[in-house]
Amino acid sequence: MHEHLTVVTHPLVQHKLTLMRDKDTSTKSFRQLLREISQLLAYEITREMEMTTRRIETPLREMDAPVIDGKKLALISILRAGNGLLDGVLELIPAARVGFVGLYRDEKTLQPVQYYYKVPSELENRLTIALDPMLATGNSSAAAIDLLKKSGAKNIRFMCLLAAPEGIARMRQAHPDVPIVTAAVDERLNEHGYIVPGLGDAGDRMFGTK
Ligand code: URA
């Protein structure tokens, strides 16, 4: 994947995203739509995985058939909203290894602080896909990717549902080697750090909190 930013403009993705943005969409529908979109984004983000062939026998003859090369990929959920993307992607790639990164923002320093970190072994040999639906300031995403690189990850991609220009710029500056796949790039961040027009708080909407 050579582009730093890929916007998945497929009509199914765009239609589902519009339903998710609507403030009257229920928690149940929001979660279901996120699951569906995550699979379409996963289809795009895995497009250039390394392939090899395996000798198999069909009922008619032998053939060298294509299979994905290398170690199982790693999906990294950035808590808590990343879990909403994780469920759908795991349905599509059930053998993937899974990690979790928990960060909160220190009220005084405004810097991300780690409260949970558990990732699969041998990240250096795995395609590593970080999942977070909302790329807002990009500070926590950039910090999460710093941690993954410290754990050895070399081939990292970032999947989100919505991105703000500010978050894309932050990621481009901090991690130009990490391609971003998103369903849309919105206008801007507001003074509270929410993406506008956005869809509100993704975690609250998918888990029914607040
Ligand atoms: N996180 C969210 O859930 N929503 C935003 O708009 C920005 C960050």
Question: Within a domain: residue 100?
Answer: yes
pLDDT at site 111: 81
Q: How confident is the model at residue 2 (pLDDT cuts 50, 70, 90)?
A: low
Note if 204 is an active site residue. yes
For residue 162, what is the enclosing H or E element?
A: strand 162-163
Q: What is the CATH number of the domain that holds 36?
A: 3.40.50.2020
Count structural domains, the chain.
1
Rounded CA separation 74/71 (Å):
9
> Rounded to 5 degrees, what are φ and ψ at 86?
-60, -45
pLDDT at site 207: 95
List, for residues 79-128, the tens digit of each pLDDT value.
999 999 999 999 999 999 999 999 988 877 778 899 999 999 999 999 99
Instruction: Please give the average per-residue pLDDT across 39-49, as a whole number.
Output: 96
Question: Within a domain: residue 61?
Answer: no
Question: Within a domain: residue 210?
Answer: no
Note if 172 is an active site residue. no
Best of 78, 132, 134 to mutate for ligand 1, by most ligand atoms within 8 A of CB? 134
Ligand 1 atom nearest to 195, measured from its CA: 6
Q: Name the percent of the chain lying above pLDDT 90.
A: 92
pLDDT at site 1: 63
pLDDT at site 132: 97
Question: Within a domain: residue 106?
Answer: yes
> Which one from 18, 204, 205, 209 is the annotated catalytic residue?
204
Question: Within a domain: residue 105?
Answer: yes
Note if 69 is an active site residue. no
CA 204 – ligand 1 centroid, Å:
10
List, for residues 147-192, the tens digit of each pLDDT value.
999 999 999 999 999 999 999 999 999 999 999 999 999 999 999 9
> Which one from 105, 137, 146, 172 is the annotated catalytic residue?
105
The residue whose CA is least distant from atom 2 of ligand 1 is 201
Question: What's this model's pTM, rounded to 2 decimal places?
Answer: 0.95
Domain that holds residue 98: 5-50+69-203
Strand residues in 2-160 grouped as ranges (E): 5-7, 51-57, 62-68, 74-78, 97-105, 112-118, 127-131, 134-135, 155-159
Instruction: Please give the average per-residue pLDDT across 24-36, as a whole number.
Output: 98
Mean of pLDDT over the chain:
96
Ligand 1 atom nearest to 198, measured from its CA: 6
Q: How confident is the model at residue 75 (pLDDT cuts 50, 70, 90)?
A: very high
Instruction: Please give the average per-residue pLDDT across 184-201, as a whole number.
Output: 96
Question: Within a domain: residue 169?
Answer: yes
pLDDT at site 151: 98
Q: Which residues line ligand 1 (CB under 6 A)?
A: 81, 134, 136, 193-195, 198, 201-203
Question: Within a domain: residue 56?
Answer: no
Question: Within a domain: residue 62?
Answer: no
Q: How confident is the model at residue 30 (pLDDT cuts 50, 70, 90)?
A: very high
User: Which among 45, 47, 52, 123 has a CA at the least distance from the CA of 89?
Assistant: 45
97 three-state secondary structure = strand
- How far from chain centre, in Å, is Cα 33? 15
The residue whose CA is least distant from atom 5 of ligand 1 is 194
